[in-house]
Amino acid sequence: MSRIILLDEYPSQKYSAAVSGEALLAGLGRRSRELRTERHLTLRALAAASGLSTRFLVQVESGEGNISVKNLLLLAGALGTSPAALLTAAEAKAPALPVIALLGLRGAGKSTVGRRLARRLRVPFFELDRRVEEAAGLSLAEIFALHGESYYRRLEKETLTRLLDEGRSMVLACGGGLVTARDTFDLLGRGALTVWLRAEAEDHWNRVVKQGDRRPMADHPQAMGELRRLLRSREALYAEAAHTVDTSKLTPQAAVAAVASLLPAPARAH
């Protein structure tokens, strides 16, 4: 019998409100940045005009600043608009659906589930690693061979920032090691609904081999043991995702349904 384990679920009303609030702050940040750019203002100049600190304005523009009514009034005045207009524009730009970010090691089903979920929700699907390759003009193997992991991690964060700044709904499959980059993982958690597609080591292994990739076992008799150790070492990090769906005994269709069930009812009917 199929089993679905959903961890740390929020009641639908509480979750919907949280998503709406985060989306509104993200929209406010984007609109503030747009107006500042249109008026050719630097952050320092906007800080001087509004009386707000540069550090606080950076937080606002990144969608992290929980702005008060008084500070919203000061910001709007410095940008030549009203608080109501600023909030209305921010709300209009908020996506109808959150960014849904799928986490897990290779073989978790991120691409398979992600593509089907995106079709179901009628939103675009992206693989973060493919976008990193496009940004670098190199394959992942070439990035690591020529520049090393630190360069890749920097590109990964920059690419994720650009995707989230687009302010649109999407399903995003993330690289298996993203959770080890604390700043990038925190950025993802603020801007997306994170879901760990959990699976047993044997499932990861079998799914990769089924795709025709036998590299995990080539000249490496201890590969399965290393895979188990890697899963154990990252389990606590993956568990920080907002939700966990255990896909070990689920078909791709059932896994898609499980992830979709995490969305508020209006979003599931999107």
Nearest to 167 by CA among 124, 120, 122: 124
Residues in the chain: 270
Q: Is pLDDT at 132 greater than 50 in this prediction?
A: yes
- If you ran DSSP here, which 8-state letter would residue 108 be given? S
Lowest mean pLDDT among 27-36, 108-117, 249-258: 27-36
Query: What is each CA distance from 176 to 14, 83, 111, 185, 232, in whole angstroms?
Result: 29, 41, 12, 11, 13
**Domains in the chain, CATH or no CATH each:** 12-93 (1.10.260.40), 99-268 (3.40.50.300)
Q: Give the pLDDT confidence score for residue 7 in this predicted structure.
A: 35
Residue 145 has pLDDT above 80, yes or no: yes
Phi, psi values for residue 101, rounded to 5°: -105, 120
pLDDT band with cut points at 50, 70 and 90 for residue 63:
confident
Binned at pLDDT 50, 70 and 90, residue 30 comes out as: confident
pLDDT at 36 over 50: yes
Higher pLDDT, 94 or 204: 204
Residue-level pLDDT at 181: 95
Token output for 3: 């089993």
Cα–Cα distance, 83 to 166 (Å, whole number): 23
Helix (H) or strand (E) run with residue 113 in it: helix 110-121
Listed residue (164, 166, 160) closest to 179, CA to CA: 160
User: Do 155 and 132 meet the contact criterion of CB atoms below 8 Å apart?
Assistant: yes
Cα distances (Å, whole numbers) of residue 254 to 2, 122, 263: 8, 18, 15
Q: How far is residue 267's CA from residue 62's CA, in Å, rounded to a whole number?
A: 24
pLDDT for the residue numbered 239? 92
Burial (CB < 10 A; 0-12, 13-18, 19+), residue 135, is middle
Strand, coil or helix: 177: coil
Is the pLDDT at 26 greater than 90, yes or no? no
Pair type for strands 125-127 and 193-198: unpaired
pLDDT in tens, 190-247: 889 999 999 877 776 676 666 655 554 555 667 777 778 888 889 999 999 999 999 8
Q: How far apart are the first and last CA of the chain?
A: 29
**Proportion of the chain above pLDDT 70, given as a percent:** 80
pLDDT tens-digit series, residues 152-188: 999 999 999 999 988 889 999 999 999 999 999 999 9
pTM: 0.63
Residue 29 to residue 25: CA distance in whole angstroms: 6
